[in-house]
Structure 1
Amino acid sequence: MIAKELINHMIPPLKAGDNAHKAILWMEELRCNQLPVVKDETFLGLITEDMILEANDIENEISSFDLLGVRCFVYDNSHFYEVIKLAADNDVQMVGVLDEQNKYMGVITVQDTITSFAQSAAVQMQGGILVLSISQIDYSMSEISRLIEENNVKILSSSVKVDELDPSKIKLTLKLNRLDLTHTVATLERFGYKIIARFQETKVQDDEKEKLDMLLRYLDI
């Protein structure tokens, strides 16, 4: 899924000439604490509720604030993984979307992106999750895929993250299309791969959004 398909058209942009009071009213109505700011179709960044409260003057024009996330935008054909990473790197709740002419199209919220992630095939399909610890010099996705597929198991998705405790190693997280991973684990371990976590996963429910959010932070994507 790409960025332009995730734009939340219910969140209007504020103009640089609007005042902080208007921003607060919109935030209350939309139940959010950040809003995009534009000027002549140019994305200027995000204004937050905390900024306004700290200034303690609701008559201030938004142009007078030091906006957050001035570079926190993606282009309309960007993959939604890029949206998640950009939001995490900038600690924001929404990301601007621009067209090829750098004109503002709208914003994507992190919540909307997580929902789309939860609805993707890799998440919706039942299966198991394995987390492997591997030395970076020994990492070969093609070799790991071969060993897994020898057990008639398919990889639905994968993610790689450097181990915080040992930068020479990576954590490889694999979503597989089988719940019973006993034979797969045995095969991987026989070839020297270290399994540090395994989970059985059924269809994701709406009330598990927090778990998905925690997973995304863990994967750092």
Structure 2
Amino acid sequence: MQAYEFINNLIPPLKPTDKAKMALSWMEEIRTNVLPVIENGNFLGFLTDEKIYTKNKPDSKIAKLDLISPSCFVYMDKHIYDVIKVSSEFDINMVAVVDRDKKYLGVVTMEDAIGAFADTLSIQSHGAVLVLSMYMTDYSLFEIARIIESENAKILSSFISNDPLDDSKIKLTLKLDKMELRHIKATLERFGFKIIDQYQEENNISEEQERIDNLFRFLNI
């Protein structure tokens, strides 16, 4: 799950000597509004279509245009989680990948990163999702897993996020290998755990749509 594994080779880098109109042509062809710019193998930043339109000189060289986010990169051996984090910090839909000498290797798009993130959370696996609210001091995945396994179910993946309704608490999202939650919920509540949400599969939802919907729920979007 390292960043270099998810480099999208369909995203071409621009050079400072390229012209703005060529950048726009490439953006239109691959349906993006941003492209990386490199010089002598070094990542310089990203060029957006907005910067080109603001300049309004299609024959202008990219060296004459303002680039954004020169620090929007990760090292090749960083986890895909770091790619998503950096993308969020810079509010851009792709992140450059460099080696330890800071030589440009390519970019990871957020579409590819989210797909990888979804796979790590077992989103394609059939099962239901439970969301618990608790104090961090009460969190013990070992204990919660023991309780769930007592109901012949297993945790496929887990995800912790801050509880937006209470800063002192966390939300624990669990993907289980069972779709029936009634007995699992009752057992967790008997042990004092507060369940604030649940998501169960519906047979008429396509697998791909289910994967996307569950991912957004995991990320609390």
Counterpart residue number, 1:44: 44
Q: In structure 1, how many angstroms separate the alpha carbons of the residues matched to 2:95 and 2:147?
A: 39
Q: In structure 1, how many angstroms separate the alpha carbons of the residues matched to 2:150 and 2:107?
A: 44
Q: In structure 2, how many angstroms separate the alpha carbons of the residues matched to 1:97 and 1:41?
A: 12
Matches within 5 A, 1:70-219: 70-120=70-120, 122-201=122-201, 205-207=207-209, 211=213, 214-215=216-217, 217-218=219-220
Q: Deviations over 1:63-87 (max 9, x none)?
A: 3333222221122222222222221
Q: In structure 2, how many angstroms separate the alpha carbons of the residues matched to 1:36 and 1:62?
A: 11
Unaligned ranges ≥5, structure 1? none
Counterpart residue number, 1:53: 53
Contact residue 95 and residue 107 of structure 1 kept, 8 A: yes
**CA deviation after TM superposition for structure 1 residue 30, in Å:** 1.1
Q: In structure 2, how many angstroms separate the alpha carbons of the residues matched to 1:210 and 1:157?
A: 16
Contact residue 114 and residue 212 of structure 1 kept, 8 A: no
Contact residue 69 and residue 90 of structure 1 kept, 8 A: yes
Structure 1, 91-100 or 118-127: larger mean CA deviation: 118-127
Q: In structure 1, how many angstroms separate the alpha carbons of the residues matched to 2:151 and 2:21?
A: 61
Q: In structure 2, how many angstroms separate the alpha carbons of the residues matched to 1:40 and 1:12?
A: 15
Contact residue 154 and residue 176 of structure 2 kept, 8 A: yes
Secondary structure, aligned partner of 1:122: coil
Q: 1:213 to 1:65 in 2, by over 3 A?
A: farther
Contact residue 123 and residue 214 of structure 2 kept, 8 A: no
**CA deviation after TM superposition for structure 1 residue 94, in Å:** 0.7
Q: Deviations over 1:111-150 (max 9, x none)?
A: 1222334455712211110111112232222222222222
Q: In structure 1, how many angstroms separate the alpha carbons of the residues matched to 2:134 and 2:194?
A: 7
TM-score by length of 2: 0.88
Structure 1, 129-138 or 79-88: larger mean CA deviation: 79-88
Structure 1, 24-33 or 48-57: larger mean CA deviation: 48-57
Q: Percent identity?
A: 46
What number of residue pairs does the alignment pair up?
219
Q: 1:216 to 1:109 in 2, by over 3 A?
A: farther
Q: Deviations over 1:28-71 (max 9, x none)?
A: 11111110111111111211111211222223332333322222
Matched, 1:20 2:41: no
Q: List 4+ stretches of structure 1 deviating above 6 A.
A: none
Q: 1:208 to 1:125 in 2, by over 3 A?
A: closer
**CA deviation after TM superposition for structure 1 residue 13, in Å:** 0.4
TM-score by length of 1: 0.88
2:158 partner letter: S
